[in-house]
Amino acid sequence: MKIRWTSQSVRFRITPEELESLCHGQTVIDTLTLGREGWTAVLSCGLEHRSPIIAHGILTVILSSADVAKLLEPTAEGIYFTSVECGTRYQIEKDFPCVHPRGGELLEPATATFAPPTDFESRKI
């Protein structure tokens, strides 16, 4: 899982394997360790309404079954919502291959990204 956060948003980019895990009720976790402290992000599925929760350096986003069903649609690139409590925007997106040239050592294996939609590259250049 790749995570990008700003003062107003958090974006998760998930792999096909991570989406499969969510479909089977498993939790996807990523931790950035900074010395003895760290920051952990958790994605899981299980509620009928999505719920972002942050406590003790852990951001947990519980997706609804409808959210996961939407991500399974071949044409869906992601799901997007804003937290009512704090106004933070959340973006849970499929990780597509980078359309910009990258060095060979930075390329992910094909199994680590989703096949992009037909017009994806033209929209990203």
CA distance 11 to 106: 20
Q: If you average pLDDT over every residue of the chain, what do you get?
A: 85
CA nearest to 2, candidates 86, 12, 90: 12
What pTM does this model have?
A: 0.77
| pLDDT band, very low/low/confident/very high, at 36 (cuts 50, 70, 90) | confident
Burial classification of residue 24, based on how many CB atoms lie within 10 Å of its CB (0-12 exposed, 13-18 middle, 19 or more buried): exposed
Q: pLDDT, tens digit, for every residue of 57-80?
A: 899 999 999 999 999 999 999 999
Bridge partners for 63 per DSSP = 45
How many whole angstroms separate alpha carbon 76 and alpha carbon 112? 17
The position carrying tokens 């952990």 is 40
Q: With respect to CATH, is domain 2-124 assigned 3.30.1360?
A: yes
d(Cα 53, Cα 60) in Å, to the nearest integer? 5
The domain locations on the chain are 2-124
Q: How many other C-beta atoms are found inside a 10 Å radius of the C-beta of residue 18?
A: 20
> Is residue 104 very low, low, confident or very high in pLDDT (cuts 50, 70, 90)?
low
